[in-house]
Amino acid sequence: MKSVYKRKLSPYERFFLAKIDDKQFFSNQGIIEGEGVLDKKLWEKAVEKASAANPGSRVTLRGKLMTSQWVDTKKTPRIREIEDTKWDGLNSNNIPYLPDKLCPLNGPVCEVILIYGKQKRVIINSLHSVMDGKATIAWALDIFRALRGEQPIGSNSKLTDIELSKTFTNKSLSAISNKYIAPTGKPDTYEKGAIWIRKTVKGFINKAIPRISIILTKEASKLSNGKFCIMIPVDLRRRNKKITSVGNLTGNLFIEIDKNSTVNDIQKKIIYQLKNYYECMLPKHINIVKYIPIKLLHSSLKKVAKQKNKTGLFTYSGIITHLGRLHVNAFSGGGFIGKTWYSCNSMSGDDLPPLFISISETESFNNHTNILIGISKPLASKGRLEKIVNSIINEIDVFP
């Protein structure tokens, strides 16, 4: 008899659980736009098959503190339907699928949302405490495989990010302090949440993260004096190709940049840190987090957020994540023909990063890159989001 899927709650996942605002937990969205047919019955069968192969998509939280773990409920994630909306997918105005009702205790922790109308969209939605961005994409691709009559790849690992990181290095991460400026200056309100804009550029961008980092650093230096640092999420699965998992298996690089840095300078720093397993290095006292109640973490994040808002200094200046390249065939099936994809998150809860950028590449007869730029509301006011977006789009190709 096959054992029930169980996975320990990682300390990092506990932080994501603490990012809650008005019952809205921090969640990921993989968004696919296309045309053709969205047949709910076909999707229900495909989601059931893909979720059985990836039981991490149908878990709920059990236990307390150090005994907390994700346990398979064997309940297939729901499919939610939304009729034609005025949302154009180009920004966060009028998003029809948030707030969602994902719940770590009672489920579901993941869902598929079908949006009908002239522009058809599929939203793959997951709690970030359960899945990272790559896991959300992996589950989505298995759903599309099932829609095409193929076998899902599925998951074979129950490792947490902490456990996997420790298999590569025992070195600790240097202490992180709140000392970095934001790309758009200082906060001028204490409004919760964030807003985002999505832009599409033709083709693929060579060294996209270093290029965008330089633009952000120069913009920041016009508004504030201080240090600048970009956090870059890194998929830990790349270190062990035998692992397939829809859990949170992400490490982070922290790259300090000054206004005189070049694209190659930043690229060398990234390569050096990857070569030396920096994304696998953990904070010295990370395991203490598993003894802290989530409610206490939540109140702590609130206090930290208020302090950062007051000083205008942050743990890092922003996050840039590159989620990779997908061919349109990978996100087509069941009568639905994918045209483009991109990724964002709910940007809910306290202590949000000053800036979040996701990069998603679509391979087709019309190769293109989606760049989604989100900024917390206290830092996005007075047209600051639009200004930073224009700077990125207008300057992205000026570097050799």
Q: What is the pLDDT of residues 73-132, one digit of tens each?
A: 999 999 999 997 889 999 999 999 998 999 999 999 999 999 998 899 999 999 999 999
Distance CA 377, CA 332 (A): 35
Does the structure show a pLDDT above 80 at 22? no
Per residue in 263-283, pLDDT (tens digit) is: 999 999 999 999 999 999 999
The packing angle between helices 208-223 and 384-395, to 10°, is 140
pLDDT tens digits for 338-351?
Answer: 999 999 999 888 88
Q: How many C-alpha atoms does 254 have within 13 Å on its Cβ side?
A: 18
User: Is 399's pLDDT higher than 50?
Assistant: no
Q: Are strands 228-235 and 318-327 parallel, antiparallel or unpaired?
A: parallel
Residue 1 confidence class, pLDDT cut points 50, 70, 90: low
Does 233 score more than 70 pLDDT? yes
DSSP 333: B
> Which CATH number is 6-155 given?
3.30.559.10
DSSP letter, residue 260:
T
Please check whether residue 224 is in contact with residue 216, taking contact to mean a CB–CB distance below 8 angstroms.
no
Domain range summary for the chain, segments of one domain joined by +: 6-155, 162-395
Does 162-395 match 6-155 at the fold level?
yes
Neighbours of 167 (CB within 10 A): 12
Asked whether the predicted pLDDT for residue 398 surpasses 50, the reply is no
Q: Read off the pLDDT of residues 161-186 as tens digits, 9 standing for 90 and up.
A: 999 999 999 999 887 777 999 999 99
CA–CA dist 90, 92 (Å, integer): 7
List Cβ<8 Å contacts ≥24 apart for 219-223: 219/183, 219/184, 219/387, 219/388, 219/391, 220/181, 220/182, 220/183, 220/184, 220/185, 220/317, 221/259, 223/181, 223/184, 223/185, 223/186
- The set of residues, in sequence order, having a beta carbon less than 8 Å from that of 46 and lying 6+ positions away, is 143, 144, 146, 147, 333, 334
pLDDT for the residue 400: 37
Task: State which amino acid sits at residue 46.
Answer: A
Beta-ladder partners of 33: 121, 340
Burial-class residue 15 by CB neighbours within 10 Å (0-12, 13-18, 19+): buried
Contact by Cβ (8 Å): 57, 138: no
What per-residue confidence (pLDDT) applies to 3? 87
Report the CATH fold assignment for 162-395.
Answer: Chloramphenicol Acetyltransferase (3.30.559)
pTM over 0.85: yes
